[in-house]
Amino acid sequence: MTATLSALTAIVFVNPVPWARAQMAFTLAFHIILVPLGVSWAFMTLIANYRGLRHQDRAALVLAQRWSKFMAVTFAVGAVTGTVLTFEFGLLWPRFMGQWGEAFGIPFAFEGLFFFTEAIFIAIYIFGWRRLKPWAHFWTGVPIVLAGIFGSISVVAANAWMNAPSGFVLDSDGRVIEVDPIQVIFNDSMPLQAAHMLIAAYLVGGFLVASVYATGMLRGRRDRYHYLGFVIAFSVGAVATPIQIGVGDLLARWVYSNQPVKFAAIELVPTTSSDVPETLLGHLNEDGTVSGGIPIPGLASWLSDPSTGRATVVQGLDTVPPDQRPTVRQTNIVHLCWDIMVGLGTLLFLLSVWYAVSWIFRRRMPRSKWFLRAAAVSGVLAVITMEAGWVVTEVGRQPWIVYGHMKVEDAVTANTGVWITFFAVVVLYALVGTTTILVLRGMSRRFRTAEDFIDHDTPYGPSQPEVPAGAEEAIG
């Protein structure tokens, strides 16, 4: 009996740190898939809408109207999953919020304003298809794009503050007694980190939407509707890719200068040295040695500071005590995710170059099945790249939740039953994800059946096509 009670106690009363981290990581990984769609889909919809009005292109107008309905569904789901994340800060990290909430909450206040603005204008845009004049309706979509951009920047500003905390004054007991909102929002990490995430949203959103139309074209749907759907979305992703590489390079150098321990984890640098190789794959051992992988001599030093080249000194993990740096396991996770992010990002860049070369020399998109096959998987690859990038950002900061000020173990809830909410959230999100996919697939099938401009104000659209009043003015 005693043994049974001890076993039950061990199950129920567990260390809350890994479970709280797992729940936060899972919900963030789920939510972040919807973020690029929430930020970039409105922009792509306006491109199609503009073309439909400016060039009297009925297919583009149909595309814009259908995209607006898809966009509404993903926005609604994103709003729910984003709200869960907000509550998790208080439920899973109460000591963090109690200590730093006055500063950390400032960017979220602005995000709330942009969120409601976006929601209002999404409703106006969708219901305005038959109620507003064409160009007036088009301009109601612009605030959606702007609210998505600034809302994303606001959230990233909060995360950037965790990487470069500033804009506060502490008393002798370590409590926040004064906050400068401008410094909190515009902290040192914010400009590059926000730019990196914003461009990633357009990159991932573009490739993700384009992959759907590439799949349709592989199945024989080569009509103008699918052609426009692919070209608009893929062009957005292709343009964003080289820009993202440049911003990512600048951000990596910022990490090298301001978070040297994270940089050491990224590059697998156990001890401070110069002429540090760029190790592709490989892993760190418990004894501080690096095994496996393909080392490229001196490249990590050169990329860190090209002005000094291979002589650039890279600080090692051993320059700080073990309790102030990522564990060996965390270091290997960070390095692997870095390799995944850079590797897949390079593949997407090469695919974008293929696309651009075809337009430059042939004045059309590539027609080969191999290109369409690559484009069909580009959406999944882009999502994996983004997820890997966030792992680098968050796990690389360990053991700090507020860099240099508070550790994760000091911020977590004392509730030892947090594992229960983890499994509950996993089940709930599995249902939400499955339902979302089924709804989007159902909408797609009904839209293909309609084959024309649809102007019903329900997410699924009508079973029969309906030409709205004023549609002739919009396209003719």
pLDDT in tens, the chain (476 residues): 555 545 434 445 578 899 999 999 999 999 999 999 989 999 999 999 999 999 988 889 999 999 999 999 999 998 888 888 888 888 899 999 989 988 988 998 899 899 999 999 999 999 888 888 999 999 999 999 999 999 999 999 999 999 999 999 988 888 888 999 999 999 999 999 999 999 999 999 999 999 999 999 999 888 889 999 999 999 999 999 999 999 999 999 999 999 999 999 999 999 999 999 988 988 999 988 888 889 999 999 998 888 888 999 999 999 999 999 999 999 999 999 999 999 999 999 999 999 999 999 988 899 899 999 999 999 999 999 999 999 999 999 999 999 989 999 999 988 888 899 899 999 999 999 999 999 988 888 888 776 555 544 433 333 343 444 443 333 33
**pLDDT given for residue 139 in this prediction:** 95
- Spatial separation of the C-alpha atoms in residues 454 and 464, rounded to whole Å: 9
Q: Is the dihedral of CA 302, 306, 307, 313 positive or negative?
A: negative
Q: Which residues contact 23 (CB under 8 A, 6 or more apart)?
A: 88, 92, 418, 421, 422, 425
**pLDDT given for residue 454 in this prediction:** 52
pTM, rounded to two decimals: 0.89
Q: Residues 93, 413: contact at Cβ < 8 Å?
A: yes
Provide the CB-side half-sphere exposure for 173 (13 A, CA): 4
3-state secondary structure of 273: strand
* Cα end-to-end span (Å), the chain: 82
Kindly state the helix (H) or strand (E) to which residue 203 belongs, with its residue range: helix 190-218
**pLDDT given for residue 172 in this prediction:** 82
pLDDT in tens, 270-308: 999 999 998 898 899 998 888 888 999 999 999 888 888
- DSSP states of 384-442 as a string? HHHHHHHHHHHHTTTTEEETTTEEHHHHS---TTHHHHHHHHHHHHHHHHHHHHHHHHH
pLDDT in tens, 170-212: 888 888 889 999 999 999 999 999 999 999 999 999 999 999 9
8 Cα distance to chain centroid: 39
**pLDDT given for residue 243 in this prediction:** 96
**pLDDT given for residue 429 in this prediction:** 92
